């Protein structure tokens, strides 16, 4: 990515951040900010191996989905990445679907790299990181960082251990050998324990399994089921949130009826 483009992305991330409620360093609740940004946010536990999130424009709505089966810190990063697609890329009728490859930065797709850069700048702007290291870490210049410092950064900026390390490395605050040391310290002490020991938010390291579907989007869940994008159990669980059953929406189950027709044809064919 060229520096000119990187600067453009920093400017856009900064203007989104200006609209957000920020604590001392980090955005307090990026999920709540979606309302202010007029995005329709759907949060649902699709399972650990499912996609992490997607963005699409349907009619006049910008819809963002995040999978709450992933750790909260990762879900927040996914949301920031999806906001990046909305701000930088998306046109009417388009969609972006993200999994562990596009979100982790292993994708070579330029738009994915841009969305990741946007997310990093939105969640951990360079000047705020600088301020944190200056004001909150005693002797940073001489001693560098400990895994407990990283846990404090996680809590302040609402990011994962890996995201904090990536960002610090990209900003030149952590060198490769230091990163290896911090990684092994993390493996020994576990992130949940580190967060607890600094009085941080241990929930960041757990999946929330939270369900939040705007009522009008139950239609969208049905649409996904009809296109075989989600299993029946998921649709049933989503319907449960609204005290509905499959019977209540049976007139909307296109694929289901088609399957019935196919079956009728088959049985009819056998009998003939
Ligand atoms: Zn993406």
Asked if residue 190 and residue 131 are part of one domain, the reply reads yes
Tell whether 95 is covered by a domain.
no
Distance CA 2, CA 11 (A): 14
**pTM (2 decimals)?**
0.81
Q: Using 50, 70 and 90 to split pLDDT, how confident is the model at 255?
A: low
Same domain, 199 and 220: no
Lowest-confidence segment of 21-35, 126-140, 212-226 by average pLDDT: 212-226
Q: Do 198 and 143 share a structural domain?
A: yes
- How far is ligand 1, taken at its centre, from the CA of residue 53, in Å? 8
**Inter-residue contact 242 to 215 (CB < 8 Å):** yes
Percent of the chain surpassing pLDDT 70: 93
Of 150, 171, 203, the last residue of a domain is 203
Residues 6+ apart with CB under 8 A from 136: 152, 156
How far is the centre of ligand 1, averaged over its atoms, from the C-alpha of 169 (Å)?
Answer: 22
Structure tokens at 96: 């972006």
- Between residues 139 and 20, which one has the greater pLDDT? 20
Tell whether 192 and 233 lie within a shared domain.
Answer: no
Does residue 32 form part of some domain?
A: no
The per-residue pLDDT of the chain, averaged, comes to 89
| Distance separating the N- and C-terminal Cα atoms of the chain | 64
Indicate the residue among 203, 230, 256 that finishes a domain.
Answer: 203
Centre of ligand 1 to C-alpha 196, Å, is 31
In this prediction, residues 141-170 reach a mean pLDDT of 94
Q: Establish if 176 belongs to a structural domain.
A: yes
What's the sign of the alpha-carbon dihedral 27, 28, 31, 37?
negative
Q: Are residues 136 and 191 in the same domain?
A: yes
Range of the domain at 182: 126-203
Residues, beta carbon < 5 Å, ion ligand 1: 96, 98, 102, 112, 115
**Strand (E) positions, the chain?**
40-44, 53-58, 61-67, 95-98
* Other Cβ atoms within 10 Å of 58 Cβ, number: 15
């Amino acid at each position: 990515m060229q520096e000119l483009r990187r600067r453009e992305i920093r400017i856009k991330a900064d203007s989104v951040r200006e609209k957000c409620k920020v604590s001392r360093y980090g955005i307090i609740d990026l999920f709540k900010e979606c309302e202010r940004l007029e995005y329709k946010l759907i949060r649902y536990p699709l399972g650990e191996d499912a996609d992490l999130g997607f963005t699409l424009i349907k009619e006049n709505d910008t819809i963002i989905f995040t999978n709450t089966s992933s750790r909260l810190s990762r879900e927040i990063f996914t949301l920031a990445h999806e906001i990046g697609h909305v701000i930088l890329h998306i046109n009417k009728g388009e969609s972006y679907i993200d999994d562990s490859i596009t979100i982790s930065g292993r994708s070579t797709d330029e738009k994915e790299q841009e969305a990741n850069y946007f997310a990093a700048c939105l969640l951990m702007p360079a000047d705020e990181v600088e301020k944190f290291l200056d004001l909150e870490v005693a002797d940073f210049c001489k001693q560098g960082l400990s895994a407990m410092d990283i846990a404090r950064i996680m809590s302040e900026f609402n990011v994962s251990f890996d995201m904090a390390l990536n960002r610090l490395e990209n900003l030149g605050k952590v060198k490769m050998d230091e990163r290896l040391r911090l990684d092994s310290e993390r493996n020994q002490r576990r992130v949940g324990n580190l967060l607890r020991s600094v009085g941080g938010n241990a929930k960041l390291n757990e999946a929330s399994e939270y369900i939040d579907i705007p009522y009008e989007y139950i239609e969208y869940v049905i649409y996904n089921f009809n296109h075989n994008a989600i299993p029946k159990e998921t649709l049933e669980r989503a319907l449960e949130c609204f005290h509905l059953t499959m019977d209540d929406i049976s007139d909307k189950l296109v694929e289901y009826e088609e399957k019935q027709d196919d079956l009728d044809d088959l049985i009819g064919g056998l009998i003939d």
